[in-house]
Amino acid sequence: MQVFNEIHLRNIRGDVFGGITAAVVALPMALAFGVASGAGAEAGIYGAILVGLFAALFGGSSTLISEPTGPMTVVFTAVLATLIASDPEDGKAIAFTVVIMAGLFQILFGLLKLGKYVTLMPYSVISGFMSGIGVILIILQLGPLLGHAAPVGGVLGTLSSLPDLIGQIRMPELLLATMTIAILFFTPAKLRKIVPAQLVALVVGTLVSVWFLDNLDLRRIGEIPTGLPTLQLPTFSAEQWRMMLVDAIALGMLGCIDALLTSVIADSMTGKRHNSDKELFGQGLGNVMSGLFGGLPGAGATMGTVVNIQAGARTALSSLVRVAILVVVVLWAADITATIPLAVLAGIALKVGLNIIDWHFLRRAHRLSAKGAMITYAVIVLTVFVDLIVAVGIGLFVANIMTVTKLSRLQADDVNAVNNPNDGAIALSQEEKALLESGQAQVLLMHLRGAMIFGSSRLILQKSADAGDFQSLILDLKDVTHLGVSASLALEEVITTMKKSGKSVFLAGLGGQPLERLRKFGMLDKMSEEHIVSERQQALKRAVSVVHQGAPAIGGRPATSV
């Protein structure tokens, strides 16, 4: 496997333009996310540089732009606030250790080749927790929008403090934030193609604050450390290790989903195909390095990726150009960013929250599926007011239960049992009908088809129980493409029950994966060769023979058992 991402000079003009454009978009977003998280604007810039650099070098998507994103920032903000509250002295260092652990989990997912499974979850759950994260990001900006620091306590703390915040509005900052949001919404499309609306809002808001509001005590970013970040060794807490582990898994999984979903968008725009496992490795390495140097966690950023591709980028060289520009800002332009008002960054972050909410799906969810809409809304509420992990866990559980129920209904037509040739549930030849009729309702023919997964196990047991008393059972597995563990155990239970009752069981048409599965289960060792046949008609002949031999009128001999 190629170690480095796709980097060449055959598209240098498009890659350079893409990198410059992505850097212009990244700067205001990184500053906004750094301030919103509570870790500082420099943490946002460091995260944009480090995650972007290592994901570009070692990732599996040539045009993906990786940096701090809204969802990752929301989760990290909660982690940081909780750890600082429990350990004021080392809480911040422990939070960055969680980022390192999240990156290690992502690397592990990539090495285990789990990339193709990461995004295999119901869209109703994905939409719910993404929209919930958007709502959280919006709520957390209410304090800064009104001219105050974000209240302690996250979402609930902000909502409970809202009356006081409104009663003490600092009008100049509210006006700056409102102006910022207006620019983001109403910047003409033609201008957006030349310069991102976020940069326009950042520049205009800063200039207005300097020229017209400089005599007011506005809250600004302030001095950002110049030079390269210093190494922060991982800090662990024996009291917090369990919470650190859970938070790291949540952050790592969210980063995986965020990055791979954005990679799919990039693929659709470029016609290329990303390597999911390699991308997870690159994302993980980027987050490890970001955590080591005090940067925010990051993932694939949809906005940065789209503008990167639209500007002509086709290889990871564009990401390296973007990183180089951000490094220049950190080394020599920190004084310029110090004057940026926090209200402007709050307005930018609020717009990001609005963009994260899945309006397109939410408007139609109730029309597409009432149950799916219920799951989506429940996940939103749980994400906002309870916990992201709880929201996703409950959402997945309910969605999977609904899926199993639906599969069980669909598989009802794939498990059929008849002892009457005129039943019609199973297509029989004339010879098979004659044989079944001669069985005098003492032969039960059960036909299975398709993939027999866990939803079919109950049907297998139910069909055999509903048939009443019979002497011989034929399990026709010729049309079974896959035999799951639950279905195999159900078959074993039916066969064992028949054997204990002194009755006979025949397996017909067994081959392929079902044959291998039953052999591994040891079920075939319990049956004689004459009870395992290749054709259903042959099984019918033997089953009818057993019934006739066991009938008292013919001599009272017991039925041949398995």
Is the distance from CB of 98 to CB of 246 less than 8 angstroms?
Answer: no
Phi-psi region of 38 (alpha: psi -120 to 50; beta: other; left: phi over 0): left
For residue 402, what are the CA distances in angstroms to 375, 391, 396? 10, 16, 10
Are 89 and 205 contained in the same domain? yes
Higher pLDDT, 555 or 504: 504
Long-range CB pairs of 509-517 (<8 Å, 24+ gap) are 509/476, 509/477, 509/478, 509/479, 509/534, 509/535, 509/536, 510/477, 510/478, 511/478, 512/481, 513/481, 513/482, 513/483, 514/452, 514/477, 514/480, 514/482, 514/483, 517/483, 517/485, 517/488
Number of Cα atoms under 13 Å in the Cβ half of residue 315: 15
Residues 367 and 419 in one domain: no
Mean pLDDT of 318-342: 86
pLDDT confidence of residue 247: 92
Q: Is residue 401 part of a domain?
A: no
Distance CA 267, CA 486 (A): 38
Distance, in Å, from the CA atom of 237 to the CA atom of 83, rounded to the nearest integer, reads 10
- In this structure, are 418 and 380 located in the same domain? no
Q: Say if residue 169 is in the same domain as residue 52.
A: yes
What tokens were used for 401? 């239960």
Same domain, 418 and 321: no
Residue with tokens 């598209």: 11
Domain that holds residue 448: 412-554
Residue 472 forms beta bridges with which residues?
443, 504
Mean pLDDT of 175-182: 94
Do 364 and 441 lie in a common domain?
no
- Non-local (6+) Cβ contacts of 101 within 8 A are 244, 245, 248, 252, 291
pLDDT at 155: 86
Q: Which residues contact 33 (CB under 8 A, 6 or more apart)?
A: 44, 47, 68, 69, 70, 73, 296, 349
551 pLDDT higher than 60: no
75 and 216 both lie in a single domain: yes
> Are 278 and 351 contained in the same domain?
yes
Query: What's the rounded Cα separation, in Å, for the pair 474 and 403?
Result: 30
Q: Looking at the 3D structure of the chain, how many domains does it have? A: 2
pLDDT band at 560 (very low <50, low <70, confident <90, very high): very low
Same domain, 359 and 463: no
Q: Per-residue pLDDT tens for 504-527?
A: 889 998 888 888 888 888 888 878
Band (pLDDT 50/70/90 cuts) for residue 554 is: very low
Which of 369, 386, 403 finishes a domain?
Answer: 386
Are 145 and 243 in the same domain?
A: yes
Q: Find all residues with CB under 8 Å of 272, minimum gap 6, and list them.
A: 61, 62, 63, 266
CATH code of the domain in which 544 resides = 3.30.750.24
Whether residues 375 and 428 fall in one domain: no
Q: Do the domain assignments include residue 399? A: no
- Mean pLDDT for 334-339 is 78
| Residues 273, 130 within the same domain | yes
pLDDT value at position 151? 83
Pairing of strands 504-508, 66-67: unpaired
